[in-house]
Amino acid sequence: MKSANLLSPGLIKNGLRRYWPLWLAGFIALLLFVVLPAYVSVPMIVNSAENVADRTDSLNFFWSTMSFMAWVYSIGGALVVALTLNDHLFDSRAATFVGSLPLRRPAVFASTFASGMLVLVALPAVASLCLMPLCLALGLVFSPLRVVEWFALTVALSFIFYSFAQLSCHASGTRLVATLIYGVIGFLAICVEAAVRLLMSALVYGISSDSISFDWLAPAAHIVSILTLSYPDKSIPWAELAPYLLVACVAAVGAAWLFGRRNLESAGDGVLFAPLRRALKYLAGISLALLFGSVYRLLDTTDAFSGIPMGTGDLLVLAVLLSVGAFLGALFADMIMSRSTHVLGSCWREGLALACVMLAFLGACRVDLLGVGRYVPKTDEVEMAILTCDYGSDSMEIASPEGIDDVRALQQHLIDYGGAGETEQAFTIDVNYKLKSGRFVQRTYPILTNFPVTTLGDGQDSQLLREFAQIADSDEGRASRFSSVIELKDDTGVQIEYMLENGEYSSIYLRGEDASDFVSNVLLTDLMEERAGELFYQMTPDEDVVVYDAVAYVEDRRASQAEGYDVYTESLQLSEGTPHILAWLEEHHPEIELIKVEYDG
Amino acid sequence: MIQVNGLYKTFGEVRALDNLNMHVEAGSIYGLVGPNGAGKTTLLQHVAGVMRPDAGSVLVGGEPVYESPQVKERMSYVPSDFYFFHQARVSDMQALHASLFPRFDAARFGSLIAAYELDPHRQVRALSKGMQKQLAFCLALACNPDVLLLDEPLDGLDPMARHSVLGHVMEEVASRQMTVLVSSHNLRELADICDHVGIMQDGHMCLERSLEDLQGGFVKVQVAFAQGSDAVPQGLDIMHQEKQGRLFTLVVRGTAAAVEDLLTQQGASFINVLPLSLEEIFIYEIGGAQHEER
């Protein structure tokens, strides 16, 4: 019996056939996603064929761009496919038609889901097949495994976002609300976090908005961050994507559950359930208030990211914006959901209540009612303290209890100091803690200075800076400032690259024990002891060659053989602060003449 | 064939169906009439298995219809505004129905669309509203249903098409004992085809009878009394009355013979029994004079 099947081939075929122009457009877009990174990257890859590091960079650029494109395709395609194939959720005539067909709800859901996934899988499959000959034609042999991996990534992301899109569609009765819910699922957490941090930075000394973590609660933002940050140097972060795949399965089941319980006559309604309607209204009010407040905060680009709180005049404007935003957000949400502009009479009380809540939030933050601004974690709660000063580019990771106590004392000192004031020139000290519970505490403190400082402790507010310098100059501090620890393995190689006077590059290669010895006893030693100086060396192997900069690449050859490059780079100017490297060059490469010159700025 | 027991359905704060009961015999053509908002379409959508009842049951052939593909395979539902997929051609809709309804008869569909001069390769959206309605009929009839549900089936059809569509439906009823449940505002046409009628108001069934019983159960009579009495005749269940001079025009419940006897006993000097149409019965039953005034 046809109706007993879980999947309806007729419905699947129908779904695939009736929107073929849309699928074609999606395919062309996806092909462009493949061709454009190739167009940009392949010349770079070909040109850098002899330079391992450059070639690695170019390949990484290509594949990270491809993974980003997979994300763009998945997040957009999933929503479009879900919105188009689920006519019966948004159109009452379609709902009546589908409801009268001899199919159970699970069969309708499974058929719709399957036809959407077929589209989302088929397009990258064809694109992958096109990618291989394209790469070959451009004279570049890619590992087929990489192409398969990219295809798998695209399918996985498509499944994740398509499940979220299906859940959004099944929780609503209009395409607009479904899109809003999809946005909420994918991005709201990150947007709310960013907005809250912006506002908090306007109200509380020490809270900065320049470091927003891509929280897992915002899947879309988090996924793109782990793809673009993790992928280039390693490979596709399957382990980090796995939880999202599981959540996507739950979302798909949830969508099926909702479809089984929703009344088909709800097609065209804003939301299916009354509680969801109220929640969306409040959410919209709070979001719009945060948006208004954030935009106002961002208008002052100097202060927005410096951690300097707002003055009283600005706070009054902020209060008005927050309350108006909350009121309007609730009003607009009600208009969208009820599809009517006549909502003021029924909605003004809730809007007013929301406005009051936002004003209370503002007041509570300003007087630091929750103690966020005064919070200093206890030593035994802290796993690691991370200290950074914005004129000393390297951060320090302090793990010893004594060191953590020093950092806590510094933070308490900074809190007591109370900030630079909104009109003063300032630079910042970042005090961050990684707690044993896994949480992070991030604070940025702007402090006064009237002139640029080049050496720690030379600032006008010398007490704070000396305190900072004391921690920075400790053994632990100096070691952690160069914490990009270079792992030495059996096949590690070192490439020291330097530029010649004619603009070309030349390299010195080290392998095996030579490489280990250089990294351990020469490179790291100088990195650890590096001090800023105003003199540096030019090295000339003969009259017409001048080396003025050197870059050391440490390359994992085993990884490179599998086309997965694992390269650490340290770039440093040769100077009096790099005595070990200078000595090593004199001993091992006497043909390079070292000439001490005056630094001309 | 169709049994609706104690059906309730609420949309928000509006009660669309309120303890509705209905019984449709196999092989009959059941006309569903009622004012706008009475709940006819809601009832049809429950019978089609589209809507889930809040309470009560809808049985077709003794089985619940909601979420029952086996029952729905033997039913066709033609709503007042039939949905066709975007970009679909006539043949696409045929293919979809053929894949879902086991009893779909492609040859029958071919002959039906030929009769209505519908091109199988044309896009449905390129067809006029009337032609789309004809296509909906063709699809429904080609499924060879045991139960055909029609919601305002004749809206948008020209007289020729109406005649043709009704002819095809009557053929099916005569040849296969198909059961038809049809809702319409066109009571004259319903009266031509229905053998049973249900009158709905405010979500419940006011009246449910065979057309013969219904028309025999109401009398429109003109009566005058010799003495020139202004008093309304007593002992009658009067649904509507008018008076012009000495002449009363009454619409009353009861048989013509019984009404005539009663009026004669009360000294009527003139009695004229007039035929009462389904439309008049509907109007007087639902709202009487107030409904007319509206």
Query: What does each C-alpha distance from A171 to A122, A180, A258, A277, A280 come to in angstroms?
Result: 27, 11, 7, 10, 12
Nearest by CB to residue B45, choosing from A10, A18, A96, is A96
How far is the CA of A385 from the CAs of A396, A459, A529, B46, B52, in angstroms? 8, 23, 21, 66, 60
Instruction: Tokens for A381, please give them.
Output: 């709660």
How far A6 CA lies from chain B's nearest CA (Å)? 12
Residues A403-426: what's their mean pLDDT?
73
Tokens of B180: 């038809």
CA distance A174 to A258: 15
Of the residues B176, B208, B240, which one is the last residue of a structural domain?
A: B208
CA angle (A54 as vertex; A53, A57 as ends), nearest 5:
90
Give the integer Cα–Cα distance in Å for A90 and A81.
14
The region of weakest confidence among A58-72, A443-457, A548-562, B46-60 is A548-562
Beta strands in B25-102 (DSSP E): 29-33, 55-60, 63-64, 75-78
Bridge partners (DSSP) listed for residue B207: B199
Regarding whether B189 and B222 lie in a shared domain, the answer is no
Q: How far apart are the C-alpha atoms of A418 and B125, rounded to whole Å?
A: 70
Q: Residue A449 pLDDT more than 60? A: no
Say if CB A231 and CB A564 are below 8 A apart: no
> Does the pLDDT value for residue B224 go beyond 80?
yes
Considering the domain architecture, whether residues B121 and B174 belong to the same structural domain is answered as: yes
Within 8 A by CB and 6+ apart from B48, the residues are: A96, A99, A100, B65, B72, B75, B77, B149
* Strand ranges in chain B using DSSP code E only, listed in sequence order: 2-11, 14-24, 29-33, 55-60, 63-64, 75-78, 147-151, 179-183, 196-201, 204-210, 218-225, 237-244, 247-253, 268-274
User: pLDDT per residue over A225-249, tens digit each?
Assistant: 777 665 555 577 788 788 889 989 9
> Which residues contact residue A428 at a Cβ distance below 8 angstroms, ignoring those fewer than 6 apart?
A208, A306, A307, A389, A390, A444, A445, A446, A447
Same domain, B199 and B240: no
Question: Residue B266's pLDDT is what?
Answer: 80
pLDDT for the residue A567: 57
What's the helix, strand, coil split of chain B in %, to 5? 35, 30, 30
Binary contact (A8, B100; C-beta < 8 A): yes
| Length in residues, chain B | 294
Question: Any idea what DSSP says for residue A520?
Answer: I
Model confidence at A307, pLDDT cuts 50, 70, 90, reads low
CB A425 within 8 A of CB A453: no
Q: Which of A570, A593, A581 is nearest to A501 (CA)?
A: A593
Tokens at A316, concatenated: 């009054």
Q: Cβ atoms within 10 A of the Cβ of B156, count?
A: 17
Considering the domain architecture, whether residues B17 and B92 belong to the same structural domain is answered as yes
Q: Which of B51, B52, B92 comes nearest A17 by C-beta?
A: B92
Task: Verify that B18 and B136 share a domain, yes or no.
Answer: yes
Residues of B in contact with A9 (CB under 8 A): 99
For A370, the token pair is 């929750």
The mean per-residue pLDDT over the stretch B19-37 comes to 88
* Confidence tier at A180 by pLDDT (50, 70, 90): confident
Minimal CA–CA distance to B256: which of B282, B208, B211, B223? B223
Complete DSSP assignment for A531-550: ---SEEEEEESSTT--B--E
pLDDT greater than 70 at residue A427: no
B102–A17 CB contact, under 8 Å:
no
Bridge partners, residue B93, by sequence: none
Q: Nearest Cβ partner of A18 from B79, B85, B100? A: B85
A337 CB within 8 Å of a chain B CB: no
Quick one: which of B21, B3, B28 has its CA closest to B180? B28
Average pLDDT over residues A32-52: 69
Which pLDDT tens digit goes with each residue over B256-270? 888 888 888 887 788
Q: Is A439 helix (H, G, I), strand (E, B) or coil?
A: coil
Q: What is the per-residue pLDDT for A304?
A: 62
Beta-strand ranges (E) seen in A425-482 are 426-435, 440-448
Task: Please compute the mean of the pLDDT values over residues A492-510 and round it to a whole number.
Answer: 72
A1 touches chain B (CB under 8 A): yes
Residue A13, chain B, CB below 8 Å: the answer is yes
For chain A, how are helix, strand and coil distributed in percent, rounded to 5? Answer: 60, 15, 25
Interchain pair A93, B81: CB under 8 A: yes
Least Cα distance to A280 among A205, A176, A202, A198 occurs for: A176
Contact B70 A1 (CB under 8 A): yes
Q: List CB contacts of B138: < 8 A, sequence separation 6 or more.
A: B109, B112, B113, B116, B118
- Could you tell me if B194 and B148 lie in one domain? yes
Between A and B, how many residue pairs show a Cβ–Cβ distance under 8 A?
Answer: 97
Supply the pLDDT for residue A450: 42
Contact B93, B122 (CB under 8 A): no
pLDDT above 70 as % of chain B = 96
Look at A4-13, A199-208, A556-565, B224-233 and tell me which has the smallest mean pLDDT: A556-565
Would you tell me the crossing angle of helices B129-142 and B90-100 to the nearest 10 degrees? 30
pLDDT at A394 over 80: no
- How much is the average pLDDT of B181-206? 84
Phi and psi at B212, nearest 5°, equal -60, -50
The verdict on B151 and B276 lying in the same domain is no
Specify the pLDDT at position A509: 80
Contacts of B71 in chain A (CB under 8 A): 102
Regarding whether B250 and B111 lie in a shared domain, the answer is no
Mean pLDDT calculated for residue range B202-219: 81
- Rounded Cα distance, B242 and B281, in Å: 16
Q: Which amino acid is at B88?
A: A
Give residue B189's domain range.
2-208
Could you tell me the end-to-end alpha-carbon distance of chain B, in angstroms, rounded to an integer? Answer: 37
- What CATH number is given to the structural domain containing B257? 3.30.70
Comparison of pLDDT for A578 and A587, the residue scoring more: A587
Domain's final residue, options B178, B208, B238: B208
Which residue, of B144, B179, B208, is where some domain finishes?
A: B208
CB contact under 8 A, B45 and A94: no
CATH code for the domain of B28 = 3.40.50.300
Task: With CA atoms as reference, report the closest residue to A139 among A63, A46, A61, A66.
Answer: A46
Q: A253 pLDDT band (50/70/90 cuts)?
A: very high
Which chain B residues contact residue A95 at CB under 8 A? 50
Closest-CA residue of chain B to A7: B100
| B11 and B93 both lie in a single domain | yes
**What are the DSSP E strand ranges found in B35-171?**
55-60, 63-64, 75-78, 147-151
Among the partner residues A18, A102, A105, nearest to B100 by beta-carbon distance: A102
Are the C-beta atoms of residues A277 and A270 closer than 8 Å to each other?
yes
**Start-to-end CA span in chain A (Å):** 85
d(CA B185, CA B282): 10
Nearest to A509 by CA among A46, A53, A55: A53
Rounded CA separation A47/A454 (Å): 40
Euclidean distance between CA atoms A577 and B56, whole angstroms: 89
Which of the pair, A461 or A156, is modelled with greater confidence?
Answer: A156
Q: By C-alpha distance, which of A135, A117, A164 is closest to A46?
A: A135
Please say whether the beta carbons of A424 and A466 come within 8 A: no
| Residue A367 vs residue A215, higher pLDDT | A367
Note the pLDDT tens digit of each residue in A330-353: 998 888 777 778 888 878 888 899
Closest alpha carbon to B281 in B241, B252, B249, B255 = B252
Say yes or no for a CB contact (<8 Å) between A102 and B87: no
- Looking up tokens 């601004």 gives A373
Please state which of the ranges A21-30, A79-88, A280-289, A412-421 shows the lowest mean pLDDT.
Answer: A412-421
Query: Same structural domain for residues B156 and B50?
Result: yes
Rg (CA), chain A: 29
Domain count of the fold of chain B: 2
Which of A474, A473, A456 is CA-nearest to residue A465?
A: A456
Give the C-alpha distances (Å, rounded to integers) separating B95 from A17, A21, B81.
12, 20, 20
The residue of chain A with its CA nearest to that of B95 is A10
